Structure 1
């Protein structure tokens, strides 16, 4: 579980972090220690343990040990594997022979700045850096042992105890190191001769001062070291989740909007009701139109009787010598009622008819009028003449001459002789016209 850590503390900071400042302290093998942001099993870390050889009560020793327990019963010729037991489960620590024999006298403390844990996200893993909010060191409960190799060298190694994850870190991993957060827990773990009081200490750390944030995945390489290891990075997965959340929300809103405009299919009864309402509306509209139209009566009989009465009055007036206001034309002997007598009867007098006729003749006399009448074409020899007449007597007749020769095409360039030919043709046309009028 806890396979990477940051340990940049000074050796003298370890007793202070373990609440052992002011007591006799011995430092061993400090030349092996290398502060690092990326400490892995097999590296040397300062470890605080009890030491009976130290003069004074409660004396301790800070010794550099390798992370990754190598039991003392390991064969001298075996190659040590530091990754095999770099963690020990606190629930079974008093059961396994490798750890059970270490509980009475080989308890120790490991102080670090923080540790790393990986969160599984599909096929990938995202590392997080976990530390105290105020920056103080974390103190882990640990066990140590010594092993003698074939060369006669004594090697001190340790393992960090783990427990189930706290409620705030369950989302990240199911295990976490045993953190001793106060002086009482540290004193009990180091000084208590019995193991009965140790079980309550091996519990998850639930205080809220433990914080974390994501870091680069390059921390997985043992060669990667430096302040870049603990630099916080933005999570791509969270950005993708925000984007996907945005689009899912937009899609949901789009569906809700569409559903608001989609009408349900009407039933048969609703269709019949709608038809009845439309027919009723049409009938009401038709009745309104009929009521609004005025009643038209047949007044043809009244008009004819009124006309007969007017004629009889005019004849009677002429018989009695009252026809002074009437006028007679030179072309007809019919008697027409005067304007004063026909007012209100809708008749037109002879004077008005003549005025209309003169106006019509004036319009017809205008050249280019569309009302001009074209007379039939007369033939004189090989020439055709078309007579245009306005229909008015006494007006001069105009004649149009159609020549048998083809006219020149438009756009064709004329040569030097074309000008003479043009003059000649115009003279011939004039002579033909003179001949025609002379003949007439």
Structure 2
């Protein structure tokens, strides 16, 4: 499960993202440095348009199915387990046709230490962005406006994350991002091969301030490792 993350080294132009990923983006969105992002808010995602050109837009971080009568979900759907794609046609169709990326600098998980919840941040050892694989849905309101929502895919945790939690986000290497976003790639079995656990030896963990526990707190203090 992943219910909190940070995005603070945010790039502001398509050219910046091309430098990261090696492909152009037709649009980006403004998003301030944010250190304590929780579900049920609008966050940046990267997806492809009908011409198969990657772009960025805001989406609600909590999946709302397109067939829902109103824009809300009865269940927590900000995460989607990878095994859901094997069991449920609804999720499999989204994997085939509605994939996205959540750019992130780190995510948080909690450990129980002396009866208290101690937050830890997890990030890549090389300091690069986490390219968290996700799926999205489009819900249409009464004015026929498209409203996007999205969910992060989770996989079995690697040894670094596994000390805190049995699940972790799907993290894609930069070289796999363009292929993940390719709308012509629709074979579910083949796509499942791209869903695998990011190596633990390429990640680090650090205890951070318990201020992270309160979603209202949002400052660089959230990601400062404790001495």
Q: Which residue of 2 aligns with 1:144?
A: 136
The alignment's C-alpha RMSD in Å is: 2.2
Q: 1:15 to 1:96 in 2, by over 3 A?
A: farther
1:82 CA drift (Å): 9.2
Deviations 1:271-298 (A, max 9, x none): xxxxxxxxxxxxxxxxxxxxxxxxxxxx
- Provide the rounded CA distance (Å) in 2 between the counterparts of 1:83 and 1:157: 14
Q: Which residue of 1 aligns with 2:192?
A: 199
Q: Which residue of 1 aligns with 2:104?
A: 112
Q: 1:72 aligns with which of 66, 71, 86?
A: 66
Q: 2:202 aligns with which of 198, 209, 215?
A: 209
1:63 CA drift (Å): 1.0
1:220 CA drift (Å): 1.7
Q: 1:20 to 1:48 in 2, by over 3 A?
A: farther
1:14 CA drift (Å): 4.5
TM-score relative to the length of structure 1: 0.47
Q: Is the 8 A contact 1:111 1:139 kept in 2?
A: yes
Q: 1:157 to 1:34 in 2, by over 3 A?
A: farther
Deviations 1:187-216 (A, max 9, x none): 332222322222222121115221110011
Higher helix share: 1
Larger relative contact order (CA 8 Å, sep ≥ 6) = 2
- Provide the rounded CA distance (Å) in 1 between the counterparts of 2:17 and 2:92: 26
Q: Which residue of 2 aligns with 1:127?
A: 119
Q: Is the 8 A contact 1:7 1:45 kept in 2?
A: no
Q: 1:65 to 1:11 in 2, by over 3 A?
A: farther
- Provide the rounded CA distance (Å) in 2 between the counterparts of 1:99 and 1:91: 10
Q: 1:88 aligns with which of 80, 85, 103?
A: 80
Describe the SS at the equivalent of 2:132: strand
- Provide the rounded CA distance (Å) in 2 between the counterparts of 1:20 and 1:88: 28
Q: Which residue of 1 aligns with 2:36?
A: 38
Q: Is the 8 A contact 1:68 1:86 kept in 2?
A: yes
Large movers: runs of 4+ above 4 Å:
13-16
Larger Rg: 1
- Provide the rounded CA distance (Å) in 2 between the counterparts of 1:35 and 1:82: 30
Q: Is the 8 A contact 1:69 1:82 kept in 2?
A: no
Written as runs of structure 1 = structure 2, the 5 A alignment for 1:398-417 is none
1:50 CA drift (Å): 1.4
- Provide the rounded CA distance (Å) in 1 between the counterparts of 2:82 and 2:18: 24
Deviations 1:52-98 (A, max 9, x none): 24xxxx5212111121111111103xx51497100000022242244
- Does 1:60 find its partner at 2:54? yes
TM-score relative to the length of structure 2: 0.87
- Provide the rounded CA distance (Å) in 1 between the counterparts of 2:130 and 2:74: 22
Q: Which residue of 2 aligns with 1:154?
A: 146
Written as runs of structure 1 = structure 2, the 5 A alignment for 1:419-438 is none
Uncovered stretches (5+) of structure 2, i.e. residues with no partner: none
Deviations 1:335-376 (A, max 9, x none): xxxxxxxxxxxxxxxxxxxxxxxxxxxxxxxxxxxxxxxxxx
Higher strand share: 2
Q: Is the 8 A contact 2:35 2:222 kept in 1?
A: yes
Uncovered stretches (5+) of structure 1, i.e. residues with no partner: 235-440
Q: Which residue of 2 aligns with 1:220?
A: 213
